[in-house]
Amino acid sequence: MFTGFMVNTWIVATVVAIVAGVVGFFVVLRGSSFAAHAVPNAAFAGAAGANLIGASSVGGLLVFAIAGALGISFLSRRGSRDVATALAMVVMLALGALFLSFSNEYASETYSLLFGEVLGVSSSELLPTAVLAVVAVVAVVLFWRLLLLTSIDPELADARGVRTSRVELAFLVIMAVITSMSVPVVGALLIFSLMIGPPAAARSFAADPFVAVLLAVCLSLVTVWTAIAVSYLTTLPIGFFVGALGAAFYLAGRAHAGWSRKRVGASGAGASRVVAPLDDQGAVR
C-alpha cells in the first residue's frame, strides 16, 4: 500500500486534502457550494481538451477552471449568481462532452476525470501539484480577513472601501487553482465533496474561525487517507469513500450542533442572555 505508485498517491492526496480543507471552509462560509461544483466541471472539460490535443492536462485544467471562474464572476455581476453559475457549468460540461467524443479512449478517460484515479498519479505531477497548493494556501492567508468580512455582509465591506466583487473573483480563482491540482487524483466530481463535507462538519464543532479551518483540514485528511486505504484494500472506487465519509462527518456535525443547542436551551443560559440589560455599564445619564 505504501510502495511504488502509491507513494505518489499518498503525497498528492495529502496535499489536496489540506488545501481542500482550507479553501472549503470559505466555500461553505460564503455559500459558494454551487460554484465549487461548477468550477471542477469546467476543469473536466479542460482536461478532456488537453488530452485531445496532447497538451499537459494540468495546463488544460488550469486554463478551463480559471475561465469558468471568470465566467461565473462576469455573469453574476449582471444577474443572479445561481443562474450565472449554472450557465457557466453547462457550457463547460458541453465542451467536455464534445472533446471526449473526439477521443478514442472515451469511457476510461471520462471515468478517471470524473471520479479520480488512485493509481494514476505520476511523479511528474508532484511538483505542479505542490506549487499550486502553495499558491492556493498563500492566497487564502493573504485574503483571510477580506474573505471573512465580505462573507458577513457585502454592504459592510463596501462601506469600508473593500470591493466585494473583486474579493469574490479572487476567491473563485483560488477555487480554480485547487480544482486543477485535485482533478487528476480525486476527480472533478469528488473534489467538490471534499470541499464541502469536512468544512461543513468543522464549523459545527468550532466557533473560532481559525480552529474551524484547522479542524476542516484534519477531517479532510482523515477522509482522504481512509478512502485511499479502504479503496486499495477493497478495490472499490475511492470516490465512494470520500463522498460517504464527507457526508458522515457532516451528519455528525449537525448532530453535535443540535445537541449543544438543546443543552444551552435546557440550562437556561440562552434565555438569560437575551434579557440581560446594560447592567455592567450602569444606566445612561
Partner 1 sequence: MREDVADPTSGRAVESSPFLLELDGIGVWLSGREILRDVRFGIGPGEVVGLIGANGAGKTTIFRLVLGLLSPTSGRVLIEGQPRPRRNRSVGYVPQKISLDPEMPLRSRDLVALGLDGHRLGVPLPSRHRRELVDEMLQAVGATHFADARVGSLSGGEQQRVMIAHALISRPKLLLLDEPLANLDLRSEQEVVELVARVAKDQGLAVLISAHDLNPLLPVVDRVVYVANGHVASGTTGEVVTSEVLTKLYGHHVDVIRLHGRILVAASPGLSAERGELEDSIDGTTADGTTADGTTADGTTADRTTAV
Q: Read out DSSP for 144-174?
A: HHHHHHHHH-HHHHHHTT--HHHHHHHHHHH
List of residues 6+ apart from 203 with CB closer than 8 A: 25, 28, 29, 212, 216, 253
The minimum distance between CB 275 and partner 1, in angstroms, equals: 7
185/87 Cα distance (integer angstroms): 26
Nearer to partner 1, 236 or 264 (CB): 264
> What is the signed CA dihedral for 12, 118, 252, 41, rounded to 10 degrees?
80
Q: Which of 170, 141, 139, 145 is nearest to 160 (CA)?
A: 145
Query: Does the footprint of partner 1 cover residue 90 (CB under 8 A)?
Result: no
156/256 Cα distance (integer angstroms): 31
Nearer to partner 1, 2 or 280 (CB): 280
Query: Does the footprint of partner 1 cover residue 17 (CB under 8 A)?
Result: no
Query: Does the footprint of partner 1 cover residue 18 (CB under 8 A)?
Result: no
Query: Does the footprint of partner 1 cover residue 265 (CB under 8 A)?
Result: no
Binding mask 209-238 for partner 1 (x = CB under 8 A): x-xx--------------------------
Nearer to partner 1, 63 or 170 (CB): 170
253/198 Cα distance (integer angstroms): 9
**Hey, which residues between 128 and 157 contact partner 1 (CB under 8 A)?**
141-146, 148-149, 151-153, 155-157
Residue 87 CB neighbours (<10 A): 17
Nearer to partner 1, 53 or 283 (CB): 283
Nearer to partner 1, 97 or 211 (CB): 211
Choose the binding region for partner 1 from 33-41, 43-51, 60-68, 270-278 (rule: CB under 8 A).
270-278
67/173 Cα distance (integer angstroms): 9
Q: Three-state DSSP class for 199?
A: helix
- How many residues lie near partner 1 (CB under 8 A)? 42
The minimum distance between CB 11 and partner 1, in angstroms, equals: 26
Among 17, 20, 29, 175, binds partner 1 (CB under 8 A): 29
33/39 Cα distance (integer angstroms): 10
Query: Does the footprint of partner 1 cover residue 275 (CB under 8 A)?
Result: yes
Nearer to partner 1, 107 or 284 (CB): 284
202/205 Cα distance (integer angstroms): 5
* One-letter amino acid for residue 2 of the chain: F
Q: Which residues bind partner 1 (CB under 8 A)?
A: 29, 141-146, 148-149, 151-153, 155-162, 202-204, 206-209, 211-212, 257, 273-281, 283-285
